[in-house]
Amino acid sequence: MALQVKISIKNMEQPVWRTLIVSEETTFEDFNSYLQIAFAWPDMASHLFLQGDYRFGSETKNLFKGESAFNEEEVTLAEFLKNIGDRMTYINDAEGSRWYHEIILEQKADLPMDLPLPFCFAAEGNALKDKEFVTEYNLEPMANEELVEYINEQFSEFYDDLFFETSEEIEPDEEEWNELFDAADQVKNKKPWLELYDDQLIAIWSEAINDYAYCSIMGNAGESYGVTCFLGSKGLLSFFDIMDSDPYEDNPALLFNQYSVTVDFNNRDDLDEEEYELIKKLGRKYRGKYQWPSFVSMIPDQLPWRINQEECLLLTEILLKLDAFLSDTENLSEKVPSFGRTMLAIDGNEELIYLSTDKLLEEALQEPVLELDMSEIEWKRMRKKAESANGKEVEMALIQMGEPVQNTPDSRPFLPYILILVEHETGAVLHYDLAESVYYAEGVQQAIYQLLDKIEVLPKTIYMIDDFFAVNAEPLFDKISIPLVKTDELEGVEQFVEMMMSEDGPF
The domain limits of the chain are 2-165, 174-365, 376-501
Closest of 277, 294, 293, 278 to residue 185, by C-alpha = 293
Cα dist from 313 to 176, 188, 289, whole Å: 7, 18, 27
- To 5 degrees, how large is the angle CA 326–CA 328–CA 330? 75
Instruction: Characterize 287-304 residue by residue with b for buried, 16 or more Cβ atoms within 10 angstroms of its Cβ, and e for exposed.
Output: eeebebbbbbbbbbbbee
SS (H, E, C) 304-327: CECCCHHHHHHHHHHHHHHHHHHH
- Contact (CB, 8 A) for 95 and 3: no
- How far apart, in whole angstroms, are the C-alpha atoms of residue 444 and residue 442? 6
Strands across the sheet containing 342-346: 292-298, 260-266, 225-231, 211-218, 202-206, 342-346, 352-356
Strands 54-57 and 87-94: unpaired
Q: How far does the chain reach from its first CA to its final CA, in angstroms? A: 42
Which residues are within 8 A (CB) of 407 and not within 5 positions of it... i.e. 6 or more apart?
A: 436
Which amino acid appears at position 275 of this protein?
Answer: E
- How far apart, in whole angstroms, are the C-alpha atoms of residue 15 and residue 102? 12
Closest of 180, 181, 188 to residue 326, by C-alpha = 188
Q: Indicate the burial class of 442 (C-beta count within 10 angstroms; 0-12, 13-18, 19 or more).
A: middle
Closest of 419, 489, 414 to residue 169, by C-alpha = 414
Which residues are within 8 A (CB) of 347 and not within 5 positions of it... i.e. 6 or more apart?
A: 205, 353
Global confidence as pTM: 0.61
- If one counts every other C-beta atom within 10 angstroms of the C-beta of residue 70, the result is 16
3-state secondary structure of 242: helix
Per-residue pLDDT of the chain (507 residues; tens, 9 = 90+): 789 999 999 988 889 999 999 989 899 999 999 999 998 887 767 888 999 888 888 754 444 554 456 788 888 999 999 999 999 999 988 766 788 999 999 988 765 444 678 888 889 987 554 444 444 444 456 677 788 888 888 887 776 443 333 345 789 999 999 999 999 999 999 999 999 999 999 999 999 999 999 999 999 988 889 999 999 998 998 898 888 876 656 666 666 778 999 999 999 999 999 999 999 999 999 999 999 999 999 988 888 999 999 999 999 999 999 999 999 999 998 999 988 899 999 999 999 999 999 999 888 877 555 555 555 556 666 665 555 445 689 999 998 876 777 767 777 888 888 888 999 989 888 887 777 767 667 778 888 887 887 776 678 899 999 988 898 888 888 877 889 999 999 999 998 888 766 655 444
Closest of 24, 25, 23, 75 to residue 49, by C-alpha = 75
pLDDT at 164: 34
pLDDT at 457: 67
Strands 46-51 and 17-23: unpaired
3-state secondary structure of 264: strand
- If one counts every other C-beta atom within 10 angstroms of the C-beta of residue 89, the result is 15
- How far apart, in whole angstroms, are the C-alpha atoms of residue 452 and residue 386? 8
- How far apart, in whole angstroms, are the C-alpha atoms of residue 26 and residue 75? 8
The H or E element that residue 260 is part of is strand 260-266
pLDDT at 102: 96
Instruction: Characterize 6-26 residue by residue with b for buried, 16 or more Cβ atoms within 10 angstroms of its Cβ, and e for exposed.
Output: bbbbeeeeeebbbbbbbbbeb
Q: Which CATH architecture has domain 376-501?
A: 2-Layer Sandwich (3.30)
- How far apart, in whole angstroms, are the C-alpha atoms of residue 28 and residue 157? 18
pLDDT at 135: 45
CATH of domain 2-165: 3.10.290.30
Strands across the sheet containing 417-423: 429-435, 417-423, 393-400, 461-465, 484-487
Sort residue 57 into left (φ over 0), alpha (ψ -120 to 50) or beta. left
- How far apart, in whole angstroms, are the C-alpha atoms of residue 507 and residue 63? 64
